[in-house]
Amino acid sequence: LYNLLDSHDTERFRWLCRDKRKHELAVIFQMTLPGCPAIFYGDEVGLEGENDPGCRLAMEWDEGKQNVKLLSLYKRLISIRKSSPSLIKGDYQTLICDDDADVYVFKRRWERETSIVILNAGAKPAHKKIIAHGEWTSLIGDKHVSSEDGELCITAQAYSAEIYQRK
């Protein structure tokens, strides 16, 4: 699979979705899905543009005009993906799909490593329980969670995502 958010033939995703937080969620989704994430030049620094010719704007090389927070997110996600066999070649299973709350949770597993990705595109915090055993480490935040009686209680703030991993 070739996973891209936009290309030279479409509006820039960041321009299209308008809400920058949702763009960041989409990047996390892109980087944790099965397949090969493809980054169209400039997406990593927040380049925007409507359909042709706006989608083909030149790269913004002036670091003062680049979105350094977004670039940092891309770098961190690439590093997480490269160091996580479950995110590169693991199987894929949907755990929660809650349209009313705009929450999606899925699991990727490869050999002994499991990653759980939580995406909350809703305007309210989400509290969910999933079946998961053991100790889990947050790869985006700096927290550890453990399941009690095989249930993992997760909280995702509004417009946020988390990647938990167990090795």
Residue-level pLDDT at 114: 96
The pLDDT tens digits for 15-66 are 888 888 999 999 999 999 999 999 999 999 998 888 888 888 899 999 999 9
**What SS3 state is found at 107?**
strand
Residues near 100 by Cβ (< 8 Å), separated by ≥ 6? none
What is the model's pTM?
0.91
Residue-level pLDDT at 134: 84
Residue-level pLDDT at 142: 63
* Strand 2-4, strand 36-38: pairing: parallel
**What SS3 state is found at 62?**
coil
CA separation (Å) from 51 to 16, 54, 157?
9, 5, 32
Percentage of the chain lying above the pLDDT 70 cut: 97
